[in-house]
Amino acid sequence: MNFIEKWLHIIRNCSFDNTYKTAWAKAITEIAIEHEAIYDSDVTIEIQLREIAKNVLRYYFEQTIFFDLQQSANPNKPPMMVTIVKELIASYRTRSGSVKPVKWFRSNIESICPEDYKKAVSAAIRALKSDVSYRFLRIEGKEVDGVYQYERKADSLYIQAENLNALKQNKLIVLDAINYRWTQMLENFNHSPRLSKKVRIIDEDQVQRKSLSKFSSYLEFENPECVCFLCCLKIEGETPAIDHVIPWSYLYSDDLWNLVYAHQSCNSSKSNVIPSEDVIQRLEQRNIALLQRMKQQGMNDKHVSELEMANEKNFVRKFWISCQG
């Protein structure tokens, strides 16, 4: 096997206990991609665990702050890395005063909470040393050799320049394989939809949240009095917010059957709370009434057929049940 075949072999066969090995593989691959090309193939390159740890923290930070994904089988005993990241997120929210999910690079976390950031990096390095660095190379009890050199408990690993170059040249295949494996693992621990999209989105610069204004005309149509779905009072003197009843972080999709008008303040105070059964019942009734109105008006676009399907297939209730885990 050449280096890339070995690397892919490890990724495809790494165990399903938690997602550490995929995070580790992704971090090293990204370091390789950013590394300047070295053409002398005999050179050995040092990669510090500190650099790997920073990448790994970023993946878990974003998967947690946006989607609250579970990274191992037991929710009561999350992997150390997730605990580290959750503490960092809590500290970030306190210091920045914002509960809005944010990409790692846009968070300025290093300057907003420098002490907690430093602590998180050190803790992540310890977790990688004790759980990942040397285990990564072991597949079914056998060590795959010729991948990198690592002394147990050391602060760096060493990898041949030509192997780094190979990772760089094959980055699309390698990152796809890693994301695919990561998604497969998450499927064991999470019931939320669109997991592969949630994993892949971390590679993109910005998590796109599309404008919901195209839904306004439909919502207004069913709710001309502009009543807030959350507190049931009239919305006056402000543009109504469009609220996802089942949290966006869970569904990762904008669908008419899940969208309602709300006060700006009601909308921002609830964030990712799972709605009560009473709310779900009201949403189901709303959807039936909305579909009826749309049909009476002779509407016949894709929103009508999507809403019809959602009503027939009980999407509201099904997704509500599954988002409770």
CA distance 247 to 272: 5
234 part of the interface to Zn ion, by CB under 5 A: no
260 is a site residue for Zn ion (CB under 5 A): no
Of 21 and 263, the one with the shorter C-beta distance to Zn ion is 263
Q: Given CA atoms 285, 287, 292, 294 in this order, what sign does their dihedral have?
A: positive
- Tell me the residue number closest to Zn ion, measured at CB: 228
DSSP state letter for 261: E
Interface with Zn ion, residue 228, by CB under 5 A: yes
Bridge partners of residue 157, in order along the sequence = 47
**Total number of residues binding Zn ion (CB under 5 A)?**
5
What is the rounded CA–CA span in Å between residue 85 and residue 117?
10
Please report whether residue 81 would count as binding Zn ion according to CB under 5 A. Answer: no
Which is nearer to Zn ion, 163 or 267 (by Cβ)?
267
Contact 64, 82 (CB under 8 A): yes
By beta-carbon proximity to Zn ion, the closer residue of 23 and 266 is: 266
Residue 263 binding Zn ion, by CB under 5 A:
yes
Q: Of 89 and 260, which has the nearer Cβ to Zn ion?
A: 260
Residues with Cβ within 8 Å of 23's Cβ and at least 6 positions away in sequence, in order, are: 55, 56, 59, 60, 81, 182
CB-based contact 279:304 (threshold 8 Å): no
When asked if residue 266 is in the footprint of Zn ion (CB under 5 A), the reply is yes
Instruction: Pick one of 43, 231, 288, 289: the residue that binds Zn ion (CB under 5 A).
Output: 231
Residue with smaller CB distance to Zn ion, 237 or 298: 237
Span from 65-73, 98-106, 223-231, 273-281 in contact with Zn ion (CB under 5 A): 223-231
Structure tokens at 284: 């189901």
Summarize as ranges the residues that interact with Zn ion (CB under 5 A). Answer: 228, 230-231, 263, 266
